[in-house]
């Protein structure tokens, strides 16, 4: 493999000195880019795009052609694992995901098997290999997965939800079954992420989109516990470098200390927590990734730059900060506003890193 | 007025001793009750029901006929104020609220005027008077309003939203305009709540449904500041008793200390914060209201009782706790499960209050 030309993202995740704060955007390959919409059109459905390594590679690289981003992230979906488990995933037009065979009964749970990443999820590892070749060492490639709890919410509900009625009923009334689902998922995620690393992923991120809908007790028992299992189970070194692991629970700002206890390298932080507060509470045990409200990208360039400065000042001097949005970029954002954001991070962060 | 036969709710809000922990449920008069659905059917649209004081009284009392609740809450909607401002509120079938004239431009903002509660909102104060007569001192009646920030989100977006694109753009790019909207709303809410107290409301609650989508800085500047203005501006005594004020920001668990600083009497707490933690952080300066995950009502009666016990133990002995759900009751809950919940609070809380 070509040596990495820009490793500022990996260095920041390990709290090593950098010249400027690295930056990337969650969902940076996405619908706000006209070139993404064009490729998506050619691919067919959203899952057709995910399952085509050449096209997944194409959209992964699109934002890097536009903006000086410090990391690429595999273009894929968090629901590839439940799809590979045979639950019948589809995306209706203008709708969220839907499973034709939701996991509700004891029999449904007992039927769940760990997918072989090099068989049923081969299109993902093929995409990783293709992207690494295409990147040619430009920036590191992030592999990712949904958290077991987050995957379970979709699998048990059968679709997106506001109330989480089915999955919470299982959690409250059949915690034994719920744990069985989560354990199969945690083991599946470990194999999946390890396969991504073997194929070339250089950092890993676990997206816990729905951990924030739980009580503090239930979060620890049903979400964090399985993320800790993943942190312990995944390959942490490849190509002679550490493979950093980032955990991100949306709405999990109250639980950063417990998340840092898992032994992960970095925590994603959404915009409802100040980075100064997050940094003080985690005491340099982990790097922090975040945390601009993605809606700031709807504001004027001047306002975007001001918010970048506020967040840089909130984190303060020294290493350990990866700039990002606090959630995925919204689809109606003007790409030129994304450019202002990325460039502002580089320009305004320099003096936080000078000696 | 008939003297109050059950004042446990008002006493708990003022952190005075009670025999058992009082309990009510947000949205207790709602779609989970077949008798509510029948009245709603007769009324016509949802707003027709809100605007008919006799029928609003009928649905307010329905849950009290079924369960030994310790408070009634005025049946109404948080969007009555923007509706009275002439923004053209409607509720599509199976949809959320929609305003035909959203507030976007400087001219839109300058056109906003404070509604006269005894004119444009007369149906609300009439409902309060009707309900107080019908209650005949059984339990206290809670009046309420949406918070200025929450009302502004609907007014500027023109409907419900996930991204808050328009209102946040105004907040980021035209903070002067945003503050103008919020100031008109805060003054409108004060007049509205004072009219409710004059008509007979015995406690007041401000629902800040969307404060939790802000950064800590923006929350303080654009939401909490105006709730503090309301706390200072509303009548705090009527009929020889204190009228307690409850503030509730969904997802605001990180900001309880700042919320208590407003001088309110009590804070609503959602289920993502432990009551033990909330109590320690607010140091007995306020009462706490909450905080069972409404989804627990989908679980078995035994599990519901266990969760009630966990929450009672988390708050611990002594006064200052009003039991509630952490958000409105879901529409598909079995009313018998609501009964198990209410009865469990009374039964299991007794020994937390014995000398």
- Chain A neighbors of B212, CB-CB under 8 A: 272
Average pLDDT, chain A: 97
pLDDT at A61: 98
pLDDT digit string, tens, across residues B41-82: 999 999 999 999 999 999 999 999 999 999 999 999 999 999
- Chain A neighbors of B209, CB-CB under 8 A: none
- Chain A neighbors of B172, CB-CB under 8 A: 295-296, 298-300, 303, 307
Name the residue of chain B whose CA is nearest to A314's CA: B217
Name the residue of chain B whose CA is nearest to A254's CA: B254
> Which band of pLDDT confidence, cut at 50, 70 and 90, is reported for residue A238?
very high
pLDDT digit string, tens, across residues B259-269: 999 999 999 99
- Chain B neighbors of A271, CB-CB under 8 A: 215
The answer to whether residue B118 scores a pLDDT higher than 70 is yes
Contact B299 A217 (CB under 8 A): no
pLDDT at B94: 73
Query: DSSP state, A265?
Result: S
Neighbours of A110 (CB within 10 A): 11
Helix (H) or strand (E) holding A166: helix A165-173
Among residues B208, B190, B174, B189, the alpha carbon closest in space to that of B103 is found at: B174
The answer to whether residue B86 scores a pLDDT higher than 80 is yes
3-class DSSP state of B64: helix
A330 touches chain B (CB under 8 A): yes
Those residues whose C-beta lies under 8 Å from the C-beta of residue B350, and which sit 6 or more positions away, are: B19, B20
Q: To which residue do tokens 């409710």 refer?
A: B196
Interface mutation target, options B30, B104, B168, B172, chain A, most CBs of A under 10 Å: B172
> Which band of pLDDT confidence, cut at 50, 70 and 90, is reported for residue B355?
low
Helix (H) or strand (E) holding A70: none
CA distance, residue A209 to nearest chain B CA (Å): 15
The answer to whether residue B179 scores a pLDDT higher than 80 is yes
- Chain A neighbors of B307, CB-CB under 8 A: 172
Q: To which residue do tokens 């049946």 refer?
A: B75
CB A108 within 8 A of CB A172: no
Among the partner-chain residues A214, A254, A332, the one whose CB lies closest to the CB of B253 is A254
Q: Are strands A241-242 and A237-238 parallel, antiparallel or unpaired?
A: antiparallel
Contact A169 B298 (CB under 8 A): yes
- Chain A neighbors of B299, CB-CB under 8 A: 168-169, 172-173
Neighbours of A54 (CB within 10 A): 11
Considering the entire predicted model, what is its pTM?
0.96
pLDDT digit string, tens, across residues B315-332: 999 999 999 999 999 999
Interface mutation target, options B224, B295, B314, chain A, most CBs of A under 10 Å: B295
B243 to each of A175, B77, B140, B147, B240, how far by Cα in Å? 43, 21, 10, 18, 9
Interface mutation target, options A156, A176, A209, A215, chain B, most CBs of B under 10 Å: A215
> Which band of pLDDT confidence, cut at 50, 70 and 90, is reported for residue B161?
confident
Q: State mean pLDDT over B10-32.
A: 98
Active-site entry in A32, A36, A154, A219: A154
The answer to whether residue A218 scores a pLDDT higher than 90 is yes
Average pLDDT, chain B: 96
Tokens of A284: 């340099």
- Name which of A184-188, A351-355, B198-202 the model is least confident about: A351-355
Helix (H) or strand (E) holding B168: helix B165-173
Please give the ipTM for the structure prediction: 0.95
CA distance, residue A223 to nearest chain B CA (Å): 13
Those residues whose C-beta lies under 8 Å from the C-beta of residue B130, and which sit 6 or more positions away, are: B53, B54, B56, B57
Contact A215 B300 (CB under 8 A): no
pLDDT digit string, tens, across residues B214-257: 999 999 999 999 999 999 999 999 999 999 999 999 999 999 99
Contact A172 B303 (CB under 8 A): yes
A293 touches chain B (CB under 8 A): yes
Q: For residue A277, is the peptide bond before it cis, meaning its omega torsion is within 30 degrees of 0?
A: no
pLDDT digit string, tens, across residues A94-146: 778 999 999 999 999 999 999 999 999 999 999 999 999 999 999 999 999 99
CB A141 within 8 A of CB A132: yes
Tokens of A7: 């490793």
Contact A273 B251 (CB under 8 A): no
The answer to whether residue B95 scores a pLDDT higher than 80 is no
Contact A300 B214 (CB under 8 A): no
Tokens of B189: 């809410």
Checking A280-288 for CB contacts under 8 A at 24+ apart, the result is: A281/A256, A281/A257, A282/A256, A282/A257, A284/A15, A284/A320, A285/A260, A286/A259, A286/A260, A286/A320, A287/A12, A287/A13, A287/A14, A287/A15, A287/A244, A287/A319, A287/A320, A287/A321, A287/A322, A288/A315, A288/A320, A288/A321, A288/A322
pLDDT at B342: 98
Among the partner-chain residues A272, A299, A330, the one whose CB lies closest to the CB of B173 is A299
- Chain A neighbors of B330, CB-CB under 8 A: 163, 165
- Chain B neighbors of A251, CB-CB under 8 A: 251, 272
Q: Among this protein's residues, is A174 annotated catalytic?
A: no
Those residues whose C-beta lies under 8 Å from the C-beta of residue A57, and which sit 6 or more positions away, are: A75, A127, A130, A131, A134
Contact A296 B272 (CB under 8 A): no
pLDDT at B1: 67
Neighbours of B42 (CB within 10 A): 11
The answer to whether residue A346 scores a pLDDT higher than 80 is yes
> Which band of pLDDT confidence, cut at 50, 70 and 90, is reported for residue A2?
confident
- Chain B neighbors of A272, CB-CB under 8 A: 212-216, 251, 254
B215 touches chain A (CB under 8 A): yes
Q: State mean pLDDT over A236-241.
A: 96
pLDDT at A30: 96
Chain B (92-151) residues lying within 8 Å, Cβ to Cβ, of chain A: none
Residues facing A236 on adjacent strands: none
Name the residue of chain B whose CA is nearest to A331's CA: B163
The answer to whether residue A11 scores a pLDDT higher than 80 is yes
Interface mutation target, options B254, B272, B328, chain A, most CBs of A under 10 Å: B272
> Which band of pLDDT confidence, cut at 50, 70 and 90, is reported for residue B163?
confident
pLDDT at A355: 62
pLDDT at A254: 97
B303 touches chain A (CB under 8 A): yes
pLDDT at B2: 79
pLDDT digit string, tens, across residues A313-326: 999 999 999 999 99
B169 touches chain A (CB under 8 A): yes
pLDDT at A161: 86
Q: To which residue do tokens 């809000």 refer?
A: B13
B355 touches chain A (CB under 8 A): no
> Which band of pLDDT confidence, cut at 50, 70 and 90, is reported for residue A160?
confident
Residues facing A97 on adjacent strands: A91
> Which band of pLDDT confidence, cut at 50, 70 and 90, is reported for residue A1?
low
* Per-position DSSP letters for B78-139, written without gaps between them: TTHHHHHTT--EEE-TTS-EEESS---SHHHHHT-----TTTTTHHHHHHHHHHHHHHTTSS
């Amino acid at each position: 493999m070509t040596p990495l030309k820009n490793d500022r993202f990996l260095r920041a995740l390990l709290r090593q000195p950098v010249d400027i704060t690295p930056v990337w955007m969650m969902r940076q390959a996405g619908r706000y880019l006209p070139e993404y919409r064009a490729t998506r059109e050619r691919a067919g459905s959203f899952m057709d795009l995910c399952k085509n390594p050449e096209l997944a590679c194409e959209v992964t690289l699109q934002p890097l052609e536009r903006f000086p981003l410090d990391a690429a992230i595999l273009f894929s979906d968090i629901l590839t694992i439940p799809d590979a488990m045979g639950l019948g995933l589809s995306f209706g037009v203008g709708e969220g995901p839907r499973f034709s065979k939701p996991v509700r009964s004891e029999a449904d749970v007992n039927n769940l098997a760990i997918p072989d990443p090099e068989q049923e999820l081969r299109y993902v590892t093929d995409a990783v290999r293709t992207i690494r070749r295409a990147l040619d060492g430009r920036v590191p490639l992030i592999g990712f997965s949904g958290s077991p709890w987050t995957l379970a919410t979709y699998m048990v509900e059968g679709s997106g939800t506001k109330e989480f009625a089915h999955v919470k009923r299982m959690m409250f009334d059949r915690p034994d079954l719920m744990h069985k689902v989560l354990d199969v998922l945690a083991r599946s995620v470990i194999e999946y992420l390890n396969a991504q690393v073997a194929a070339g992923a250089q950092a890993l991120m676990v997206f816990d989109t729905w951990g924030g809908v739980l009580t503090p007790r239930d979060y620890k028992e049903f979400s964090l516990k399985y993320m800790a299992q993943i942190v312990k189970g995944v390959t942490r070194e490849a190509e002679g470098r550490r493979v950093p692991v980032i955990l991100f629970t949306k709405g999990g700002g109250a639980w950063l200390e417990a998340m840092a206890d898992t032994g992960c390298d970095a925590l994603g932080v959404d915009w409802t927590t100040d980075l100064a507060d997050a940094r003080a509470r985690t005491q340099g045990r982990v790097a922090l990734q975040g945390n601009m409200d993605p809606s700031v990208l709807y504001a004027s360039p001047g306002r975007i730059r001001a918010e970048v400065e506020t967040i840089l000042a909130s984190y303060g001097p020294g290493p350990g900060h990866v700039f990002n949005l606090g959630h995925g970029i919204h689809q109606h954002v003007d790409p030129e506003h994304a450019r202002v954001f990325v460039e502002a991070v580089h320009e305004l962060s320099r003096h936080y890193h000078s000696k």
